[in-house]
């Protein structure tokens, strides 16, 4: 069948622009509209190839996919240090509205790592009727923030400095001071929003949860299992799967996880929702 990819800039209300790439099938009908929400900081760059490969696979299966750099990220306007959590939520809502205005098809927000938190909160806070697709989701923003702060602490240790650990960085953020970490200036407003974020299921559709693992047991992470069981008990529609693959978002070299792409395409494009209800 083949698919087409078109880059463009999506304007915001303040005169800024978000770099976007639209992947769409070459057929007239579109089975679904998918918005990708990339992960945090350097994980976004490590994941670009996987996001593009999955977007092409979705388009070949009849779905339109929008890859969008959030405010201050990639080729979008603004600096990373200027971005806030609310800015990122607004970007997701804007991208979703753009897709819904052009495609009469069910909406899915597809997040990766901390991007899952952004997608889930945007859907909940703004009552977006959509499915949620999670790739290796972080269950709480405080975990993502702590991991990011530890990068700074690790650098200090390598440099022979005793900087007071992550607590000192948190104190600076609480005073409204930005913190420079691994080449990214972290805005206190972004850090605060991230730390308060918790992963939520879709309230209007299905949540699809995929993880990659280098192990052979096919087991979800323990925290994932606990949260998914809680969601299912509460009556939410959830389907989960673990596939073999590398942690491409943090690998030294750019890596691919073809089994993840195959499983995601199968679950989103071919598996009936009724078969995924607990």
pLDDT by residue (tens digit) across 238-252?
999 999 999 999 999
What pTM value is reported for the model?
A: 0.92
Beta strand 131-135 with 107-112 is: parallel
Mean pLDDT throughout 66-93?
97
Give me the pLDDT at residue 161, please: 62
Q: Taking each helix axis as running N to C, give the angle between helix 188-196 and helix 85-102, from 0 to 180 degrees, rounded to the nearest 10.
A: 70
Q: Is domain 3-140+198-276 classified as CATH 3.40.50.1820?
A: yes
Residue, of 172 and 53, whose pLDDT is higher: 53
Contacts of 171 (CB under 8 A, 6+ apart): none
Give me the pLDDT at residue 164, please: 62
Measured CA to CA, the distance from residue 163 to residue 72 in angstroms comes to 28
Dihedral sign (CA 32, 278, 265, 98) = positive
As beta bridge partners, residue 37 has 111
Contacts of 185 (CB under 8 A, 6+ apart): 79, 80, 81, 178, 179
Q: Where are the domains of the chain?
A: 3-140+198-276, 141-196
Measured CA to CA, the distance from residue 57 to residue 38 in angstroms comes to 17
Give me the pLDDT at residue 163, please: 59
Report the chain's mean pLDDT, rounded to a whole number: 91
Measured CA to CA, the distance from residue 41 to residue 148 in angstroms comes to 9
| Closest to 248 measured CA to CA, from 223, 197, 214 | 214
> Is pLDDT above 70 for 219?
yes
Contacts of 62 (CB under 8 A, 6+ apart): 25, 27, 29, 30, 31, 32, 269
Contact (Cβ atoms closer than 8 angstroms) between residue 75 and residue 40: no
Residue, of 277 and 66, whose pLDDT is higher: 66
Q: Flag the least confident range among 61-75, 156-170, 262-276.
A: 156-170
pLDDT by residue (tens digit) across 101-133?
999 999 999 999 999 999 999 999 999 999 999
Place of tokens 């190839």: 49
Distance of CA 243 to the CA centre of its chain: 18
């Amino acid at each position: 069948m083949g698919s087409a990819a078109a880059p463009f800039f999506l304007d915001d209300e303040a005169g800024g622009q978000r770099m976007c790439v639209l992947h769409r099938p070459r057929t007239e009908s579109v089975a679904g509209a998918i918005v990708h929400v990339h992960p945090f900081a350097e994980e976004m760059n490590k994941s670009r190839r996987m996001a593009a490969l999955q977007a092409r696979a979705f388009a070949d299966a009849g779905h339109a996919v929008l890859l969008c750099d959030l405010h201050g990220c990639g080729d979008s306007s603004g600096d990373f240090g200027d971005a806030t959590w609310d800015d990122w939520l607004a970007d997701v809502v804007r991208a979703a509205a753009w897709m819904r205005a052009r495609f009469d098809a069910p909406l899915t927000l597809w997040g990766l790592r901390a991007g899952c938190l952004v997608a889930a909160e945007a859907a909940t806070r703004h009552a977006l009727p959509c499915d949620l697709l999670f790739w290796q989701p972080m269950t709480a923003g405080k975990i993502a923030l702590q991991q990011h702060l530890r990068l700074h602490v690790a650098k200090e240790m390598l440099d022979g400095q005793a900087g007071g650990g992550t607590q000192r960085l948190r104190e600076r953020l609480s005073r409204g001071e930005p913190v420079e970490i691994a080449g990214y200036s972290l805005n206190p407003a972004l850090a605060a929003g991230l730390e308060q974020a918790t992963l939520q299921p879709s309230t209007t559709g299905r949540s699809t949860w995929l993880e990659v693992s280098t192990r052979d047991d096919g087991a979800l992470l323990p925290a994932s299992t606990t949260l998914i069981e809680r969601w299912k008990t509460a009556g939410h529609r959830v389907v989960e799967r673990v596939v073999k693959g590398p942690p491409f978002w943090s690998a030294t070299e750019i890596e691919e996880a073809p089994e993840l792409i195959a499983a995601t395409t199968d679950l989103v494009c071919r598996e009936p929702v009724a078969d995924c209800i607990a």
